[in-house]
Structures are given as C-alpha cells and as structure tokens.
A and B are shown apart, each in its own frame.
Chain A
Amino acid sequence: MIKTDIAIVGGGPAGLCAAISAASQGANVTIIEKASNLGGQLIKQTHMFFGSQKQYASTRGIDIPDILMNELKKLGSLVNVMLDSTVLGLYEDGVLTVEQNNKYIKIKPDSIIIATGASEKFLAFPNNDLPGIYGAGAVQTLMNVHGIKPGNKVVMVGAGNIGLIVSYQLLQAGIEVKAIIDAAPKIGGYYVHASKVRRMGVPILTSHTVKYAHGKEVLKKVTIVKLDNNWQEVPGSEIDIDADVMCISVGLSPLAELLWQVGCDMIYVPELGGHVPVRNQELETSVKGVYVAGDVAGVEEASSAMVEGRLAGLCAAKNLGYAKENFEELKNDCIEQLYSLRSGPVGEKIRAGLSKVIV
C-alpha cells in the first residue's frame, strides 16, 4: 500500500495545478495519469489561450504543460508522478486501486482530488457509427499530436469553441472544411474564432443538423437539413455534402465514475455538461476528503480548470494541516480569478449551473 497526503487523479491542467498548489503548501502529492505524459488535452491545443496572465493568456495550450512542469520540478520530492497508470476504483475506506504496466497497485491517500476531465458527447442520426465520424477532439489529437490528416473533406457539427477552433486547425493542416453546422440559431463559440474561419471561406450554417450519414464501410456523404424555430426539420431543405470526415463537437460530459463509486451527491446540471458533484467553496464534495477540479466538476475552459486545480490543491492541503502564511491570499486570488473568468455574458450559463451545485 502506497501512502501519500493527497492523490490527484488526472495530470491535465486541473490536476497539474492542484499538485503545484498543494505541494507549495507542504503536502506530499501523487499524480496518477493514465497517459504516458502529463498535460492532458493541453498537448493538442495549438491556439492561444484567453483569460488573463495568471491563466497563461496569449500562450498556446501546447506550451503550457512545460510551464507547469517547471513549477512542479521546483517542488522536488513532494511530488510523485505515476504515468501509464489508470485508476480502477475508489472505495469507501479511501483506497484507490491502480493498474500500471499490468501491475495492480493500492494507494491510501489522506485526501483525493479528482481531476479526470470529460469525454466527448455523441449525436443521434442514422449511420452515426460509420468510420470517418469522429469526435472533434479526436481529430485534433490525430492532427496536432500525431501529425496525421483525418481525411480530405470535413463537415464540422457544432459551432461552439471546440468546433470553431478545430475547424481552423484543420485548415492550418491543409484540410478542406466544407461547412460548420449547428442546430442552434446562433453561433455558440466566441466570435473571434468564428470570424477567423469565416474569413477563410468556411460557411457556418446555424439552425442546421445532420439528417443522414451515407457510406457502407466508411463515410462518403452527409445530408444536412434546416431546422425551424421549433427545432423541427424544414421539408425540402436537405443539402448533400461530399465528405469523408464528420467531426462531432456537441459538448463534453464529465468523467465522473469515481465520484459515483465513492458515493458523492450528484446532480444533473445540463449547463455543466451532465451529472456533477455537489461541492462547497473549497471544491470538497459531499464525501469528506474528496475534492474535484476541472471539467469533471462541470465542463468549462482549461483556464478555469487550472484555477480550480489551484484552489482544490490549496484547500485539500490546508484541511490536512498544511497551510503557509500566504494561504488566505492565494485562496482569495483563486476565487477572484474564477469570478472574473465566469463574469459577463459568456459566463452566464456556467454561473447558472454552478448556482445549483455549490453549497
């Protein structure tokens, strides 16, 4: 049995920041990451981040893991990293079980921060299971991490930030984007991203959805259809688009299995992507000593995931008796950063969602 003060499940933006802030207060932390490298999905995000300096605004996502890793290195032996390690379960007695290189390992932490992120949602339409139909994030991984083109002609489903950004990145990789469609009557993502793809000649068709995917073994053609004000198909408005790739970018849902298993109170909050845990201001769930940070707590941006990670790390450390004199100052700074990231009209949905789960 491995002992550690705080186990952090997931080494993405939230988990890395949680590790840095908890260890900075003096706690011993263990990051458990299923991939062979840290950084989570930052490693495929070639666009520059928004927010403020503290969330690495104007830095490309792909460059942030190195910055965080340098911060981690300064903390020396307080930080343990387990790569290629998948958490299998979290039990009532607080034991985490982990598989690493076909070995079964048990860990007994005093506190746990769950930062497992989210997975891509799917969409229902005939033949939605054809090869060639991928999550937008999957296509981003294939292109930006592995340097492989997903295909030649793409239909992007979803005009949120991921759909818009991945469309731009497809164009950067020399791939044709035939259209971006969205069932909603308005573009969901930031207009700065939408303008970039529009300037490059890609049509964005709002109030349109997928009616049918064609192909026997792989995707060959997509039929889209217009929706009226009541989200009903407009007869005769079908358009056929030749495409060998369709990217589905219709949101993410929190990877909350461990929270369910350990018995956290969960609430279905559509604004946050699905079932999320009830938590307090310190990001502790209804199960004492189990904290959350990042998309698993509610789907948002990587910027807020990093700040949540810092907040959860600080509070988990403090509640175990590790708090330096700057604790209150750091904690208030995190709360202010989150407030600012979620302010204004773009944060409206998140604020509505959070009001249902923070106790």
Chain B
Amino acid sequence: MRINEHPILSFTKGKLVKFTFDGKEYEGYEGEPIAAALHAAGIKVLGHTHELGRPRGFYCAIGNCSSCLMTVNGEPNVRVCVEKLKEGMVVETQKGRGELK
C-alpha cells in the first residue's frame, strides 16, 4: 500500500530494514515511523484497550493523541506514529498499562 507514482511528490526513503511485530518478521524503511511501516504492511490494529478490549489504531499520526501506544524493544507506551524504525526492532502489542523500570 505504498504510493509509487505521485503527480507532485517523490519519496526518499532510508534503507530497507527488517523488524518484528508480535514475533513475525516484516520489512520497512529505516527512519519512517513504526506505525507507517506497519500500515504499509496492512496492519492497522496496533493494540486493544485495557478495559473493553476494543481495537486501537493511530488517530493523529503526529504524536499528540497517544492512540498508538505499543511496546518497542521491551519499552512500553511508545508512540509508534512518531518513533522511527530501526533495523532489528522488536515491536509488540502492549498488554496492560506498562511499568516504569
């Protein structure tokens, strides 16, 4: 679901890197937001709410709304709409509210 042709824009991307989402391997471009790489791979559901288990995706995509919190490399509550993708990142659906270590 990447845009290949555009009348105005051309997209310069970083190098192709591998990362995992809930244990499964995916590819994305280094430096793009994790949520963008996931969306390009067709993944829109980033987690479920604590109380009612309702699915959550991103809403604002610029780090304001906190709808997109996930666990990244073991750290909970990461806003994946603004966190940049790096080689080998371990991205997981967050269970619970996360704890400060």
A142-B36, A147-B2 known; A172-B7 Cβ under 8 A: yes
Binds B, one of A49-57, A129-137, A258-266, A277-285: A129-137
When distances are taken between beta carbons in the complex, the residues of chain A under 8 Å from B63 are 34-35
B3 touches A35 (CB 8 A): no
B2 touches A119 (CB 8 A): no
In the complex, whether B26 has a CB less than 8 A from a CB of chain A is no
**Considering the chains assembled together, what is the distance between the CA atoms of A172 and B7 in angstroms?**
7
A residues contacting the other copy or chain, number (CB 8 A): 37
B36 touches A173 (CB 8 A): no
In the complex, whether B15 has a CB less than 8 A from a CB of chain A is no
In the complex, whether A359 has a CB less than 8 A from a CB of chain B is no
When distances are taken between beta carbons in the complex, the residues of chain B under 8 Å from A137 are 60-62
Q: How far does the Cβ of B52 sit from chain A's closest Cβ, in whole Å?
A: 10
A141 touches B62 (CB 8 A): yes
**Considering the chains assembled together, what is the distance between the CA atoms of A139 and B3 in angstroms?**
13
A144-B9, A147-B11, A174-B5 known; A131-B82 Cβ under 8 A: no
**Considering the chains assembled together, what is the distance between the CA atoms of A72 and B7 in angstroms?**
30
**Main secondary structure on A side of the interface with B:** loop
In the complex, whether A150 has a CB less than 8 A from a CB of chain B is yes
B residues contacting the other copy or chain, number (CB 8 A): 33
In the complex, whether A255 has a CB less than 8 A from a CB of chain B is yes
- A138's partner among B13, B40, B62 (CB-CB below 8 A) is B62
Interface members, chain B 39-94 (any A CB < 8 Å)? 39-40, 44-46, 54-65, 81-82, 84
When distances are taken between beta carbons in the complex, the residues of chain A under 8 Å from B100 are none
B6 touches A142 (CB 8 A): no
**Considering the chains assembled together, what is the distance between the CA atoms of A216 and B52 in angstroms?**
13
Task: Compute the total of residue contacts between A and B using a CB distance below 8 Å.
Answer: 94
In the complex, whether A329 has a CB less than 8 A from a CB of chain B is no
A138 touches B59 (CB 8 A): yes
A137-B61, A141-B61, A174-B5 known; A132-B44 Cβ under 8 A: yes
Q: Which residue of B lies closest to A34 (CB)?
A: B63
A138 touches B44 (CB 8 A): no
**Considering the chains assembled together, what is the distance between the CA atoms of A172 and B8 in angstroms?**
9
Q: How far does the Cβ of A211 sit from chain B's closest Cβ, in whole Å?
A: 19
In the complex, whether A97 has a CB less than 8 A from a CB of chain B is no
**Considering the chains assembled together, what is the distance between the CA atoms of A141 and B35 in angstroms?**
12
**Considering the chains assembled together, what is the distance between the CA atoms of A218 and B57 in angstroms?**
9
Q: How far does the Cβ of B3 sit from chain A's closest Cβ, in whole Å?
A: 5
- B55's partner among A62, A150, A151, A217 (CB-CB below 8 A) is A217
In the complex, whether A320 has a CB less than 8 A from a CB of chain B is no
B61 touches A135 (CB 8 A): yes
In the complex, whether A42 has a CB less than 8 A from a CB of chain B is no
When distances are taken between beta carbons in the complex, the residues of chain B under 8 Å from A46 are 8-9
A149 touches B54 (CB 8 A): no
When distances are taken between beta carbons in the complex, the residues of chain B under 8 Å from A34 are 63
Q: Which residue of A lies closest to B12 (CB)?
A: A147
When distances are taken between beta carbons in the complex, the residues of chain B under 8 Å from A255 are 64
A-B contact pairs, 28 of them (CB 8 A): A35-B63, A36-B84, A46-B9, A119-B60, A129-B55, A129-B56, A131-B44, A131-B55, A131-B57, A132-B44, A132-B57, A134-B57, A135-B60, A137-B62, A138-B58, A138-B62, A141-B62, A142-B36, A147-B6, A147-B11, A147-B13, A148-B2, A149-B1, A149-B3, A172-B6, A172-B7, A173-B3, A217-B45
**Interface positions of B (Cβ within 8 A of A):** 1-3, 5-9, 11, 13, 32-33, 36, 39-40, 44-46, 54-65, 81-82, 84
The 5 A-B residue pairs with the shortest CB-CB distance, nearest first, are A131-B57, A147-B11, A138-B61, A131-B44, A146-B36
**Interface positions of A (Cβ within 8 A of B):** 34-36, 41, 46, 60, 62, 119-120, 122, 129-135, 137-139, 141-144, 146-151, 172-174, 216-218, 255
- Other than the given A131-B57, A138-B81, A147-B9, 5 more pairs (CB < 8 A) read A137-B60, A143-B3, A146-B32, A148-B2, A172-B6
